[in-house]
């Protein structure tokens, strides 16, 4: 991995780099990265207000994988990193989860997301839209992805559309590895003719 120059280097610890690859692509941003609220030029120091240091960037791509299990690729137009918590807040997001054996598992877009850099879990909200590997399209207010469990879910109203019709429910669970949807109550079906 090629390490970026400047203040971001202090945020990338060798142990973290072994667990997840973080690729930063800056869209016409000047170097070095700005550190929001930093009291000095050193990003590892606490800001003067006692809060955590932040790293803000635009045009970001995150890549995470664990052996041969699903790989997570998340693109966002803007991101704010909180390295002390291993959390990134993302804006205008597109995510793809891929399994080495099966190919794409699902794709998703949303307005905002919170990504746990350590675990590859995320919570997405705002105009969530996505497609599964089998071509089922879903939309919801929010979804959560648990990378370890291979589970994409929501407990808010959802609409799923596939070649057979439109399904609505009070939420869903999509088991990524098994490629199975389960609607959570209040199910209605409109079959295609």
Cα 109 to Cα 185: distance, rounded to the nearest angstrom = 25
Instruction: Say if 3 falls within a structural domain.
Output: no
The reply to whether 30 falls in a domain is yes
Of 139, 104, 146, nearest to 125 by C-alpha is: 139
45 — pLDDT class (breaks 50, 70, 90): very low
Predicted pLDDT at 111 = 97
Span 99-124, average pLDDT: 87
Q: Return the higher-pLDDT residue of 129 and 62.
A: 129
Does 49 fall in a domain? no
Q: Are 71 and 100 in contact (CB under 8 A)?
A: yes
The answer to whether residue 173 sits within a structural domain is yes
For residue 62, being part of any structural domain is answered with yes
Count how many domains the chain has.
1
Query: Does residue 28 lie in a domain region?
Result: yes
**Better-predicted residue by pLDDT, 142 or 40:** 142
pTM: 0.71
- Give the residue with greater pLDDT, 80 vs 36: 80
Cis peptide before 167 (omega within 30 of 0): no
Query: CA-to-CA distance for 137 and 69, rounded, in angstroms?
Result: 23
- Domain extent, residue 143, equals 8-38+54-191
Domain CATH code at residue 183: 2.60.450.10
């Amino acid at each position: 991995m090629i390490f970026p120059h400047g203040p971001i280097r202090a945020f990338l610890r060798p142990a973290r780099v072994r667990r997840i690859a973080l690729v930063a692509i800056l869209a016409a941003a000047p170097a070095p990265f700005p550190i929001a609220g930093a009291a000095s030029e050193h990003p590892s120091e606490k800001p003067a207000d006692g809060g955590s240091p932040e790293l803000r960037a635009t045009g970001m791509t995150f890549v995470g994988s664990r052996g041969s299990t699903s790989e997570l690729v998340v693109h966002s137009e803007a991101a704010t990193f909180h390295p002390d918590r291993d959390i990134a807040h993302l804006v205008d997001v597109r995510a793809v989860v891929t399994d080495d054996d099966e190919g794409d598992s699902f794709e998703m877009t949303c307005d905002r997301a919170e990504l746990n850099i350590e675990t590859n879990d995320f919570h997405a909200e705002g105009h969530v839209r996505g497609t599964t590997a089998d071509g089922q399209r879903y939309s919801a207010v929010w979804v959560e992805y648990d990378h370890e469990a291979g589970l994409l879910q929501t407990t808010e109203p959802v609409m799923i559309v596939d070649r057979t019709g439109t399904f609505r429910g009070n939420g869903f669970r999509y088991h990524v590895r098994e490629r199975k949807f389960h609607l959570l109550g209040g199910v209605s079906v409109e079959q295609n003719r």
